Amino acid sequence: MAAVDLTTHPGHLARRLQQAHYLLWNTMVSEEITSPQFAVLNTLVAEPGLDQRTVGERVGLDRSTIAEVIGRLIRRGLLDKVRDPQDGRRFLLRLTDEGMRTHRRLTVRTARMNQVFLAPLDPGEQAVFIELMRRVADAAEGLRDPAPAPTAIH
């Protein structure tokens, strides 16, 4: 059996892109705040007062992961949980003043990081690349419970 050309495999390329993003994030944006944590902060800047489940849906994180991310942001003093006045069983999230300052600082850094990340592409290619990645990511949201792989016939 011959080896496959991994440069044509989207998953392999996505992993390589994720590695590059992780390296750039840690060197250019923050070693303390992760990209998913920033996504949560950013979501709550755009839509203050969302509940944890909704924030998780907005940023594409499952229930256990979003709970962990939010817990860390609360422990860092960047988020507060407040009881929903219309549903006492539910908590709403809001950024603290420190959370707002952190978001502002990181927003500038993420813009610079994205310029470096996309530098191999001209501006038109960058827009197309982002749109294609968004379409694949949006479609992938429906794959959270994929059908089982077919079994090999011997």
pLDDT in tens, 45-67: 999 999 999 999 999 999 999 99
Q: What is the pTM of this model?
A: 0.86
Number of domains in the chain: 1
Q: Answer whether residue 5 is part of any domain.
A: no
The answer to whether 19 and 25 have CB atoms below 8 angstroms apart is: no
pLDDT at 131 over 90: yes
Domain that holds residue 65: 13-141
In this predicted structure, what is the pLDDT of residue 148? 54
Q: Is residue 22 part of a domain?
A: yes
Where do runs of H (alpha helix) occur along the chain?
Answer: 10-24, 35-46, 52-59, 63-75, 97-118, 123-140
